[in-house]
Amino acid sequence: MKPDPKIGILHYTAPPVVGGVEAVIAAHCREFFKAGFNVTVISGRGSEYSLPLGTDLVKLPLLDSQHPRIRQINPDLENGVVPAAFKTITDELLESLHSILADFDFLIVHNVFTKHFNLPLTAALTKLVEQKTIRSCTAWCHDFTWTSENSREKVHPGYPWDLLRTKLKDVTYVTVSRDRQHDLAGLFGISTDEIHVVYNGVDPEELLGLSAEGLGLVKRIRYLDESLNLLMPVRITQAKNLEFAFRVSAALKDMGCPNKLIITGPPDPHSVTNMLYFQSLKDMRIELGLEDSIFFVYEQGTESGEPYTVSMQVIGDLYRTSDALLMPSHREGFGMPVLEAGLVGLPVFCSEIPAAQELGMEDMYWLNPEARPEEAAQVILSWAEQDKTSRMRRRTRQNYTWRAIFKQNILPLLEQDPRD
């Protein structure tokens, strides 16, 4: 890949137009920008103010499927007639796009090669690919007119409709699911191995409503990875039985379950005894080899060595990004974390302290902190393996965030030469 490649993304419309493809384009733009790429959207309609930071916009009105001239010829095309204006519009698009698209190292085209909404645009892009004006082209295919029950009757044998079921040489094809991959392979008469699958993703920051501070903390401790995330929203005191929680974390790791354990509260800096206890916990973390698994929020500030405490808003961010609450306390006067976890829908793994029993009744998982930590770890592991919601949550974090999809599936496309 050449240094600082220019990325173009082409579609009929762009945000603020509301649509599934437009949302995908916005997500791709965000990830390209974060990765340091120059990205430009080329569309018939849209606003640069509605696109993610760092995205340029080139507007060419004839790309819009709802442009008056396109809408005027579409009824004839849908009835199997090629109007005289078709070639005129195609030639205009060829002339306009030639100079624009020749400037990009990689061009991603959404839906235009497989949908009938603007056939002059399909024809013009096809010629530019064949002329090698477009140096590296990826056809991102969400839908196909030829296989759609709703729109199949709007295309007909022959030119230009056959363009929508013809595989172009030197173009990389992407579909958004295995089902779509099989449909497109059947349409082209090729092997599914020749078509990539890149799923759409989710944005945890947006979907979970994370604050800027909470997001920064979550990123620093890599809390959106695939690990099982265990939350202890407690102060650092001996009553919370943190040593037991550490050993449970170690046992889970030994059982093949990567996990992170987050302790949100601080030690008491005015108590020598409490600070000595805190230091013993840090030593224990090293002894157990859990430096990358156990995190004290108190240590996670952006200023090195400075104590860090967080607001309830950030605690809420941690609740929403955690998988379960762990509370093996020796004693609790009330047990507020039980109610907080209940409100956000986290399962609670808790010692049988009276206050927690009153609150949680039969709706919690009870642990015996006097037993071997491996026994508690097995209770948690059995839940994690059997609970469908938990499994789906971790799999989504690992594979289906936009960050993961960009790194695992989109970046490799830029390295691939479709001519190979």
Residue ranges per domain, the chain?
Answer: 6-202+402-415, 209-397
For 288-299, write each residue's pLDDT tens digit.
999 999 999 998
State the amino acid at position 347 in one-letter form.
P
* Residue 1 in this model has a pLDDT that exceeds 70: no
Give the per-residue pLDDT at 418. Answer: 53
Identify whether the C-beta of residue 203 lies closer than 8 Å to the C-beta of residue 401: yes
Domain 6-202+402-415 has CATH 3.50.50.60: no
Identify whether the C-beta of residue 250 lies closer than 8 Å to the C-beta of residue 210: no
Give the per-residue pLDDT at 119. Answer: 98
* Residue 87 in this model has a pLDDT that exceeds 80: yes
Region of residue 320 (left: phi > 0; alpha: psi -120 to 50; beta: else):
alpha
Give the mean pLDDT of the chain: 92
CATH topology of 6-202+402-415 equal to that of 209-397? Answer: yes
Domain 209-397 has CATH 3.40.50.2000: yes
For 90-120, write each residue's pLDDT tens digit.
999 999 999 999 999 999 999 999 999 999 9
* Residue 136 in this model has a pLDDT that exceeds 90: yes
Give dist(CA 119, CA 116) in Å, integer. 6
Give the per-residue pLDDT at 417. Answer: 56
Identify whether the C-beta of residue 137 lies closer than 8 Å to the C-beta of residue 99: no
